[in-house]
Structure 1
Amino acid sequence: MATLIGLSIRVLLLRALPSRYKVTVEVSEGTHVSEHAVNKQLADKERVAAALENKNLVQIINQCVA
């Protein structure tokens, strides 16, 4: 669930901000059991791009940011 929330926040920022801005989304230390794994997934550009190619996941993200 934390990965989905982080991915939704990242997508919202990418859509809202000009492309000249670098977007970094991280889970704060001590706030999640698997914060390191979630941060690693959110920082990996290839994983984010692959997630955004998944039509089902994009629909869920669109519902989250709507």
Structure 2
Amino acid sequence: MIPQPADQAANRKRRGRLGGRPPAFDRETYKQRNTVERCINKLKQWRGLATRYDKTATIYLAGLHLAAIFIWSAR
């Protein structure tokens, strides 16, 4: 969820039930979601994982583990 401008949140709160989505924004949930999305995007950089050339699930999972190890060791 992208943070809302303060004036939009105030307008929604003022309108009450008719204001649409709630004005709440959970910063911790957003941080966790952002971390997961960035990790998935890094994994997608591996062509074999992005295109799923591997025939079996075990070989695909092994490639996923290798990519994760390389990403983790490059930090």
TM-score by length of 2: 0.25
Q: Which of the pair has the greater relative contact order for Cα pairs under 8 Å at 6+ separation?
A: 1
Larger % of helix: which? Answer: 2
Bigger Rg, which one: 2
TM-score by length of 1: 0.28
